[in-house]
């Protein structure tokens, strides 16, 4: 019963959006309202302020974008929040997809001026596929933007999701005065703080006073809200949980406007952990023996120690530090002596954890993305995480041949983390592995980390391939390698991939050799 009670307190969610919609800013604002940080960071590089707590990597701070996911855990009211910030750039969508496998709901962040953007649409499709309930937060209402009704119509027209506003903006975008709280019909007026560094003070006015003091903006807000309610926008918790409708809130994360509403909503309405289905299709009860799956591996979070942290979502049972668990992939025991809760780059030792929690297993060089950990019998294994078809390829070579040991270590580590996919080419041998990526910025991250974390600078020579297929019959390898615009490479799991300069080159080879068997390279789990 203790395990079920603790699981009921957990809220695990991810923040998803298009780049520059304000994900990291919102993440930090949520932490600020939960009083786990005292001042917001330098989201816009203000002098004397620290960078956002979730963007811990040097490249992220320099570029002002998130390029890796980050886990934050903190308490708010009587709940334990596991908040996963995700990279917004499309080149790192594979990392985001892994994070979405570890959460129970998602906050979809929309820019008030741009609405639904391409990367947001892609990530929402993943949420829909996984049945993940989505809350929508319309951000940047302090800046000029589109009309609130127009943004809500877009949710219906483009993704078939019924908006159910729980707050409604008072004042057009760029003239944000506060929100109409749909629950009680009151007006919540915000006051600015210096640079948005502190939680914004709020003043609550009843409808009569709001009409007297705000006038036309208040009247407009009430009329728009009533119009949407009449078209099916009344809140329905069941429709939210079955992912056919989305609660909508309006705010400005950089000013901390509307953030408390979102945090309270997550505690009150976001799904609790539920039994997770194992690889055999059987739901594992929350109070069964401990089990978890690794959805992310990261090195270099602590530059002083260069240790490796494996992030795992607890699926069942009670985790206790020091327990010895089994890795379902290798069948080998794994001792959990060093386990930490994570808050950005800061970490603290954790002694216990429950379903819904994300724990950081330190010195976890034996763990890889997709591994299942379990205690007791019988063994359990959860479905593996997807690996996506790469679209960019480059040969990696060490700049300094005397650093070959560091080079090999760095390459293996980046592969284990999923920063890039590692391929082997017979044409080049083990000394010149091929990096494969969904997006080219992954190469920049890989090169930066090879130089600064492993002291092994690399030269990346791009390969001219843009089409990839799975080679169904390894005996046909020679047919592909004989082509002038194609070659075969091997993935670390033994899968052989046929790379082609473009789709035309592939079709030409298939006409020359109709017996050649190629299969689409789909996301595999």
Annotated binding site for GTP: 85-89
> Distance (Å, rounded) from C-alpha 231 to C-alpha 225?
10
> Distance (Å, rounded) from C-alpha 304 to C-alpha 302?
5
Question: For the chain, how many residues are written?
Answer: 525
Neighbouring CB atoms inside 10 A of 398's CB total 21
Cβ contact 384:37 at 8 Å: no
Torsion angle of alpha carbons 33, 50, 457, 428, nearest 10°?
20
SS (H, E, C) 370-417: CCEEECCCCCCCCCCCCECCCCEEEEEEECCHHHHHHHHHHHHHHHHH
Cβ contact 327:335 at 8 Å: no
Helix (H) or strand (E) holding 211: helix 207-214
> Distance (Å, rounded) from C-alpha 297 to C-alpha 310?
4
Q: How far is CA 121 from CA 93, 281, 286, in A?
A: 12, 28, 32
> What b/e readout covers 292-330, taking b as 16+ CB neighbours within 10 angstroms?
bbbbbbbbbbeeeeebbbbbbbbbbbbbeeebebbbbbe
Residue 196: HSE in the Cβ half-sphere, 13 Å Cα cutoff: 24
Cβ contact 286:275 at 8 Å: yes
> Which are the contacts of 242, defined by CB distance < 8 A and separation ≥ 6?
131, 133
> What b/e readout covers 101-117, taking b as 16+ CB neighbours within 10 angstroms?
bbbbbbbbbbbbeebbb
What are the backbone dihedrals phi and psi of residue 8, each rounded to the nearest 5 degrees, phi first?
-65, -20
Among residues 61, 58, 71, the alpha carbon closest in space to that of 27 is found at 71
- The most distant pair of C-alpha atoms in the chain lies apart, rounded to whole Å, by 81
What are the backbone dihedrals phi and psi of residue 230, each rounded to the nearest 5 degrees, phi first?
-70, -20
Q: Which residues are annotated as a binding site?
A: 85-89
Task: Read off the tokens for 235.
Answer: 């809140």
> Which are the contacts of 408, defined by CB distance < 8 A and separation ≥ 6?
none
Neighbouring CB atoms inside 10 A of 337's CB total 12
């Amino acid at each position: 019963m203790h395990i079920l009670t603790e699981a009921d307190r957990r809220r695990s969610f991810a923040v998803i959006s298009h780049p520059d919609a304000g994900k990291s800013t919102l993440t930090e604002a949520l932490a600020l309202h939960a009083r786990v940080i005292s001042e917001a960071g330098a989201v816009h590089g203000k002098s004397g302020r620290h960078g956002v707590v979730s963007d811990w990597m040097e490249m992220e701070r320099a570029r002002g974008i998130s390029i890796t996911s980050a886990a934050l855990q903190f308490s708010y009211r009587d709940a334990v929040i596991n908040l996963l910030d995700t990279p917004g750039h499309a080149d790192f969508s594979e990392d985001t997809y892994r994070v979405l496998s570890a959460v129970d709901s998602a906050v979809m962040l929309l820019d008030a001026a741009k609405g639904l953007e391409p990367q947001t649409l892609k990530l929402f499709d993943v949420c829909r596929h996984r049945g993940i309930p989505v809350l929508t937060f319309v951000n940047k209402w302090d800046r000029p933007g589109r009309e609130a009704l127009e943004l809500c119509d877009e949710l219906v027209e483009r993704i078939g999701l019924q908006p159910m506003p729980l707050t409604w903006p008072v004042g057009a975008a760029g003239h944000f005065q506060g929100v109409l709280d749909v629950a009680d019909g009151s007006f919540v007026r915000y006051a600015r703080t210096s640079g948005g560094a502190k939680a914004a003070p709020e003043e609550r006015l009843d409808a009569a006073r709001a009409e007297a003091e705000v006038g036309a903006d208040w009247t407009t807000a009430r009329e728009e809200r009533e119009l949407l309610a009449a078209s099916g926008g009344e809140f329905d918790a069941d429709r939210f949980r079955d992912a056919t409708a989305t609660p909508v809130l309006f705010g400005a994360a950089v000013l901390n406007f509307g953030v408390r509403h979102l945090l309270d909503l997550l505690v009150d309405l976001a799904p609790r952990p539920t039994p997770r289905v194992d690889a055999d299709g059987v739901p594992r009860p929350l109070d069964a023996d401990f089990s978890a799956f690794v959805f992310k591996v990261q090195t270099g979070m602590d530059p002083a120690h260069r240790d490796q942290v494996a992030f795992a979502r607890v699926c069942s049972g009670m985790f206790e530090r020091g327990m010895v668990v089994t890795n379902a992939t290798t069948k080998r025991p794994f001792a959990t002596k060093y386990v930490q809760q994570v808050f950005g780059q800061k970490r603290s030792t954790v002694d216990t954890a429950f379903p819904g929690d994300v724990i950081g297993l330190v010195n976890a060089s034996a763990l890889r993305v997709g591994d299942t950990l379990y205690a007791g019998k019988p063994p359990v294994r959860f479905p593996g995480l997807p690996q996506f078809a790469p679209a960019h390829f480059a040969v990696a070579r060490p700049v300094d041949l005397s650093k070959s040991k560091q080079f090999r270590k760095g390459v293996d580590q980046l592969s284990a983390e999923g920063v890039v996919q590692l391929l082997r080419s017979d044409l080049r041998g083990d000394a010149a592995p091929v990096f494969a990526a969904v997006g080219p910025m992954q190469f920049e991250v890989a090169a930066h980390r090879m130089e600064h974390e492993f002291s092994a600078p690399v030269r990346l020579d791009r390969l001219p391939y843009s089409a990839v297929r799975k080679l169904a019959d390894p005996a046909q390898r020679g047919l592909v390698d004989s082509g002038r615009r194609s070659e075969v490479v091997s993935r670390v799991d033994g899968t052989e991939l046929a790379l082609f300069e473009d789709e035309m080159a592939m079709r030409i080879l298939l006409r020359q050799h109709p017996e050649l068997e190629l299969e689409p390279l789909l996301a595999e789990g």
